[in-house]
Amino acid sequence: MKTELVIFDLDGTLLDTIGDLAVACNAVLGVRGLPQHTYEEYCHFVGNGILRLVERALPEPMRTPETIAAVRADFVKYYTEHIDAHTRPYDGIPELVGELARRGVGLAVASNKFQAGTEKLIRLFFPGVTFAAVFGQRPGVPLKPSPAVVEEILALTGVAKDRVLYVGDSGVDIETAAAAGVRGAGVTWGFRDRAELVAAGARHLVDRPDELLGLL
């Protein structure tokens, strides 16, 4: 079946955002006199939304709902203001997105990043591209690997499941695609390694953005 819609994860798939995420989280930890973390540690903290990122970054005794909520609020403020200091598209991504648009393939984003941050990054880095949907974390919508966000995109676009390709860099993304009943592809240039994608059941793995064109 011809692919009519490609749904992308954002962090670790379209954009290398880990530098800004790490700087923002370390900043809010630092003002509280708390231990900070390395780039490599943040690669494993992300993927399940900002709340879980903050929870994982805090010392275990401080992981109370009140502290997590307060640190999250500070993180979102700092991160939103400095969201593109280190963030860049991965090599080949602008060309891939442009080629998909040229071929008339629909584009969408399904992220666990908070909605305002997701929208801002897409506006900044893909200003001339039309996306059918750009969805991040929103109140009342379960985070991935729940299929809710993919199902919402399918309902909005009217594209049949067997004409959709979902693309992401983590086990969460592979599980999301499976739960939604759409084809999934794992990319190896993101924050997680090939072993995690394989363990999650990835049937397609790609090492370069242009390889995704072969899955259409």
Q: Residue 94 burial by CB count (10 A; 0-12/13-18/19+): exposed, middle or buried?
A: middle
d(CA 64, CA 37): 19
Active site residues: 9
d(CA 53, CA 137): 13
177 contacts: CB under 8 Å, gap ≥ 6:
150, 166, 168, 183, 184
d(CA 185, CA 166): 6
d(CA 46, CA 22): 10
